[in-house]
């Protein structure tokens, strides 16, 4: 088996010293951006893999970051983990992952365990409503700009404005927003943005799933068909998952999306383009968020670390989101409630009422 390439191999190939190669790959010292790129390209070409154990002995650091997610079972967070891992790997760091499972005590325990395992710093995607306590190591928080101590995040308010303005521009005047947790800073920002983008004219109301389920049980009907009878033509969910729940409930009631009512989501999860109808939603730039979070954390861990030109300024608090328009949103139609002539049995008199419906 051929020996693994080392710093000396890279140095000989380029004609510089091993110290220069080490400084370029670690982000330390005065190495020009052009030479740093040349060294990085040669390292990739030769298949160089840094020894974390050797670096730990020489620097006193593990070169491992801890990542604590709010709920790894939610389809959004594996995407976050992948983006963070890729950004950390480019910086020469590994990643250990902890899961709070939506529980504050479990979140604290996960942070403590990662610190005990030698993580040089922690990237935290906190449980909703959490106030970030003092952590005895460098930390970067990914939540929302309104969260105290937030490092960098998607601009959830701006994303909400995009959705609200989109619905208003389509001609909707009656909008129902579907949220999950009333104590979530992220959802509060999204809802505030939706209301701002939609404007003050017309009717806007918010449904909270946790409150409805506290009364009627998990998986209960949200009463969307009743709202359509009252004249609501659009439902804006703060998550693609809740948007899918809304589409399913409306379809069970004999209502078609978007022929009779519009539904939008948030996050652009992998399946949002594959369901029928494909979901109009907003997408966060996870790669940029991950890169900026890792860059901020590494500057705390290694204050003398040099950064690439694009990271020379402090990370922005909010990374803009992108509106993705698909077929679940359309202009409101005059005949909002389908009649029996549409080959279904869901005229206004036969649509189920909100009372007594529960799919738990």
pLDDT of residue 347: 36
- Out of 67-71, 95-99, 130-134, 301-305, least confident range: 130-134
Alpha helices by DSSP H, listed for 47-75, are: 52-59
Residue 207 in this model has a pLDDT that exceeds 90:
yes
pLDDT greater than 70 at residue 8: yes
Q: What is the chain's mean pLDDT, rounded?
A: 84
Compute the average pLDDT of residues 169-188: 94
Which of the four CATH numbers 1.10.260, 1.20.1510, 1.10.3470, 1.10.3210 does domain 7-50 have? 1.10.260
Q: Please, which pLDDT band fits residue 283 given cuts at 50, 70 and 90?
A: very high
The CA distance from 222 to 245, in Å, is 9
| CB contact burial 95-121 (16+ within 10 A = b; e otherwise) | bbbbbbeeeeeebeebbeebbeeebbb
Cβ 221 vs Cβ 193: under 8 Å = no
Best CA proximity match to 143, nearest among 122, 126, 160? 126
Which CATH architecture describes the domain 156-283+323-350? 3-Layer(aba) Sandwich (3.40)
Is the pLDDT assigned to residue 281 strictly greater than 70? Answer: yes
Instruction: Over range 117-124, report the average pLDDT.
Output: 91
pLDDT at 296 over 60: yes
Beta carbons of 301 and 61 less than 8 angstroms apart: yes
Under 8 Å CB-to-CB from 303, ≥6 apart: which residues?
A: none
More confident residue, 104 or 305: 104
Order of strands, sheet of 203-208, starting from the edge strand that comes earlier in the sequence: 203-208, 174-179, 234-237, 262-264
At 359, is the pLDDT very low, low, confident or very high (cuts 50, 70, 90)?
very low
* Residue 126 or residue 152, greater confidence: 152
What is the arithmetic mean of pLDDT over 123-151? Answer: 81
Domain spans of the chain, in order of start = 7-50, 64-141+287-316, 156-283+323-350
CB-CB contact of 120 with 301 (8 Å): yes
Is the confidence at residue 204, as pLDDT, over 70?
yes
* Cβ neighbours, 10 Å, residue 229: 14
| 335 contact partners, CB below 8 Å, separation of at least 6 | 260
- For residue 316, the model assigns a pLDDT of 64
pLDDT category of residue 133 using cuts at 50, 70 and 90: low
CATH class of residue range 64-141+287-316 = alpha beta
pLDDT of 358 over the 50 cut? no
Q: What percent of the chain has pLDDT over 70?
A: 82
List of E strands, 209-250:
234-237
The pLDDT of residue 173 is above 90: yes
Per-residue pLDDT at 350 exceeds 50: no
Same fold for the pair 64-141+287-316 and 156-283+323-350: yes
pLDDT in tens, 26-82: 766 678 888 888 888 888 888 887 655 455 444 556 789 999 998 888 889 999 899
Q: Whole-model pTM?
A: 0.75
Question: What's the average model confidence in pLDDT over 143-163?
Answer: 93
Q: Does residue 108 surpass a pLDDT of 50?
A: yes
């Amino acid at each position: 088996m051929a020996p693994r390439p080392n710093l000396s191999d890279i140095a000989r190939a380029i004609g510089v010293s091993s110290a220069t190669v080490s400084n370029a790959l670690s982000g330390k010292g005065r190495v020009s951006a052009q030479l740093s790129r040349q060294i990085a390209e040669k390292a990739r070409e030769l298949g160089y893999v840094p020894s974390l154990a050797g670096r730990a002995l020489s620097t006193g650091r593990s070169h491992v970051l801890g990542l604590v997610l709010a709920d790894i079972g939610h389809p959004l967070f594996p995407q976050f983990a992948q983006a963070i891992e890729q950004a950390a790997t480019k910086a020469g760091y590994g990643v250990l992952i902890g899961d709070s499972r939506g529980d504050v005590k479990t979140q604290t325990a996960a942070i403590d365990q990662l610190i005990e395992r030698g993580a040089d710093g922690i990237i935290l995607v906190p449980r909703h409503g959490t106030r970030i306590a003092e952590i005895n190591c460098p930390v970067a928080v990914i939540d929302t700009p309104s969260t105290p101590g937030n490092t960098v995040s998607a601009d959830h308010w701006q994303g909400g404005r995009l959705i609200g303005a989109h619905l208003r521009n389509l001609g909707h005047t009656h909008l129902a927003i579907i949220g999950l947790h009333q104590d979530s800073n992220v959802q509060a920002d999204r809802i505030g943005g939706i209301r701002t983008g939609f404007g003050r004219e017309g009717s806007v109301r918010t449904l909270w799933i946790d409150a409805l389920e506290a009364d009627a049980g998990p998986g209960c009907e949200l009463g969307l068909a009743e709202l359509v009878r009252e004249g609501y033509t659009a439902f804006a969910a703060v998550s693609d998952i809740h948007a899918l729940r809304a589409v399913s409930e409306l379809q069970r009631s004999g209502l078609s999306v978007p022929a009779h009512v519009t539904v939008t989501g948030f996050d652009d999860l992998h399946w949002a383009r594959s369901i029928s109808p494909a979901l109009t939603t907003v997408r966060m730039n996870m790669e940029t968020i991950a890169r900026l979070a890792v860059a901020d954390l590494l500057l705390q861990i290694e204050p003398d670390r040099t950064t690439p030109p694009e990271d020379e300024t402090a990370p922005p608090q909010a990374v803009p989101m992108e509106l993705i328009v698909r077929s679940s949103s359309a202009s409101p139609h005059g005949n909002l409630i389908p009649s029996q002539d549409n080959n279904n049995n869901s005229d206004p008199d036969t649509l189920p009422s909100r009372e007594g419906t529960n799919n738990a």
